[in-house]
Chains A and B, each alone.
Chain A
Amino acid sequence: MEISGENWLIVGLMTTAAIAMAMTLLILNLIVGPSKPSKTKSDPYESGVPDVSPVQARFTPRFYMVAMLFVVFDIEAVFIFPWAVSFDALGRYGFIAMLVFILLLLEGYVYAWKKGALEWV
């Protein structure tokens, strides 16, 4: 197994093929499907109630909290993956180093839990 550009070339070409397939279907849809636009049809769906105000992108700060926690633990994952792959080569030293890293993260995790960052309501 070597790092070769050809492997990624194949991925790129497959993406192109998938996009081409999708565009073909969409164009076919445009040709076959009817087009009778009207004002009522293009209103936003509000369960039958007329739309009164534009949608405001305001939502609970919980979503931001989840995003921040995600960044912390995803960076943890970024460190753990290469460690796992070369685990046998790193041996005891790598294990202890990773244990310290995970303990530090767990400390932050317990702190976040105690502060109520993991509570949704």
Chain B
Amino acid sequence: MNDQPLWLTFIFAFLIMNVLLIGMAYMTYFERKMLGAMQDRMGPTRTGPKGLLQPIADGIKLLGKEDLIPRAADKWVFFFAPLIVFVTAIVGAAVIPFGGTINAFGRDLNLYITDLNVGALFVLAFSSIGVYGIILGAWASSNRYSLLGGLRAAAQVVSYEIILGLSLVGVFMLAGSLSLRDIMLEQQTNLELGPLTVKNWFILSQPLAFILFMIAAVAETNRAPFDLPEAESELVSGFHTEYSAFRFSFYFLGEYISMIVVSLFAATLFLGGPSGPGSSDHWYLGILYILIKAIVFLFFYIWLRATLPRFRYDQLMGLAWKVLLPLVILNIVVTAAIRLASDGLLF
């Protein structure tokens, strides 16, 4: 680890925050274009060439709207709840490593904002603090639909939180660390698979954990087919029914940014992060690889939304508690047993 001056870290953090915001704006564009293609229509086309200025136009439009606060609402909670969603989503990106320490522009630079020894827990913790924003906003609106949406969000997020956390235990066991940088470095070692030598990406040794993690991650970010807190058809948008103008858009900023952060997180944990052909020699290839991997996950999110109908609430809870929980505990026990057996310690 390279001790770089704080101001360099700040520049990097500032860059990452801006990339996340612009990424979020173009994620909405990407989603609308992809959904359009999957439903055999055009998506946005009018604003700018191929509709490319659409996200910017949307942002400006939302800034010019009236910010309504309902009479019955709890003003302060109503005011601050959307900020919790936005801030926790953006801070979660602080521990994602985009590479190791590189030598560029005549200096040693760290390609991560900070390397916490509990990095993976940090991301999990911040993704679940985000639900406070949803439930507080829903409660403060004092609207029946919002309250139901907020309660659903709370119950759903705590249920899938367990799956999300426990599915990563196998990864922590193999890496022997919670630091995302250590997990990334561990995956750059080689693994012998018969005649093949491949990089030790954890998706190879933890395929079940990867599937469970992806299901739980979709539920944790309240995306289709687990978007019951919003459920347009029954709850008229659920927890953000009463929100308008830019306060409303913070919920969407938060949702899309946490999708991007979770995708980067999954790429780091299971797909080797920035590792790929030539990435050890050229750091910019590493950044390109982790972004490509994250975009694949984001595409997967959109694909799910276009393909699957929404769950019923009892199905959603049944899936978490009756199917995924036994599987995730089985994965922990089997991983531990195999790990012990490979050291010759089991019997």
Out of A10, A67, A73, A121, which one reaches B9, CB within 8 Å?
A10
- Cα A11 to Cα B94 in complex, Å, equals 7
Closest to A44 in B: B143
Q: Is the CB of A10 within 8 A of B13?
A: yes
- Chain A, residues 36-58, CB within 8 Å of chain B (1/0): the string is 11010111111100000011010
In terms of DSSP, what is the predominant structure of the interface of chain B? helix
Whether A57 pairs with B139 at a CB distance below 8 angstroms is yes
The reply to whether A77 and B165 form a contact with Cβ atoms under 8 Å apart is yes
A47 neighbours in B (Cβ, 8 Å): 236
Instruction: Report the contact-size class of chain A (Cβ under 8 Å from the partner).
Output: 35 or more
B residues 144-186 touching A (CB-CB < 8 Å): 144-145, 147-148, 151, 154-155, 158-159, 161-162, 165-166, 169-170, 172-173, 176-179, 181-182
Q: Residue A41 contacts which of B68, B87, B121, B170 (CB distance < 8 angstroms)?
A: B68
Q: Are B158 and A70 within 8 A (Cβ)?
A: yes
A32 to B113, CA, bound (A): 34
| Complex CA–CA separation, A68 to B144 (angstroms) | 24
Contact A63 B151 (CB under 8 A): yes
Contact of B242 among A34, A44, A74 (CB under 8 A): A44
B172 touches A1 (CB 8 A): no
A113→B326 CA distance, assembly (Å): 12
Q: Which residues of A contact B242 (CB under 8 A)?
A: 44-45
Contacts A13-B10, A88-B176; is A57 near B147 (CB within 8 Å)? yes
Give chain B residues whose Cβ lies under 8 Å from the Cβ of A54.
72, 142
Q: SS class of chain A's interface: helix, strand, loop or mixed?
A: helix
CB distance from A47 to the nearest CB of B (A): 7
Q: What is the distance, in angstroms, from B182's C-beta to the closest C-beta of chain A?
A: 7
- A104 in contact (CB, < 8 A): no
Contact A95 B340 (CB under 8 A): yes
* Cβ contact within 8 Å between B166 and A77: yes
Q: Across the interface, do B246 and A29 meet the contact criterion of CB distance under 8 Å? A: yes
Chain A proximity of B105: nearest CB distance (Å)? 21
B306 at interface, CB cutoff 8 A:
no
Q: A47-B236, A85-B176 are in contact. Are A113 and B87 (CB under 8 A)?
A: no
Please state if A106 and B70 are interface contacts (CB–CB under 8 Å): no
State which of B40-48, B213-221, B263-271, B314-322 sits at the interface with chain A.
B314-322
Residue pair A66, B158 in contact (C-beta under 8 Å): yes
Pick the residue among B91, B113, B143, B154 that contacts A15 (CB under 8 A): B91
CA distance A105 to B137 in the complex (A): 35
* Measured CA separation A57–B87 after assembly (Å): 27
The answer to whether A25 and B340 touch (CB under 8 A), given A8-B116, A84-B169, is no
Q: Which residues of A contact B151 (CB under 8 A)?
A: 59, 63
Partner of B169, one of A14, A23, A80: A80
| Minimum CB–CB distance for A89 against chain B, Å | 9
Q: Judge whether A14 and B162 touch: CB under 8 Å.
A: no
A91 to B345, Cβ gap below 8 A?
A: yes
| Candidates B66, B161, B325; contact of A109 at CB < 8 Å | B325
Contacts of B117 in A (CB 8 A): 1-3
Shortest Cβ distance from residue A51 to the other chain B in the assembled complex, whole angstroms:
8
- A25-B246, A81-B172 are known contacts. Are A1 and B340 too (CB-CB below 8 A)? no
Known: A17-B13, A25-B246. A32 touches B337 (CB 8 A): no
Q: How far is the CA of A10 from the CA of B169 in the complex (A)?
A: 27
Q: B298 interface residue, CB < 8 Å from A?
A: no
Task: Tell me which residues across on chain A come within 8 A of B87, comparing CB atoms.
Answer: 15, 18-19, 22
| Contacting residues, chain A, for B155 (C-beta < 8 A) | 62-63, 66-67
* CB-based contact B339/A87 at 8 Å: yes
26 A-B pairs in the complex with CB atoms less than 8 angstroms apart:
A1-B1, A13-B13, A14-B113, A17-B14, A18-B17, A22-B83, A23-B83, A25-B246, A26-B246, A29-B62, A33-B66, A44-B70, A45-B236, A55-B143, A59-B148, A70-B159, A81-B121, A84-B169, A84-B170, A88-B339, A92-B346, A95-B337, A102-B332, A119-B318, A120-B313, A120-B317
Which 4 interchain pairs have the tightest Cβ spacing?
A: A120-B314, A29-B246, A42-B71, A70-B158
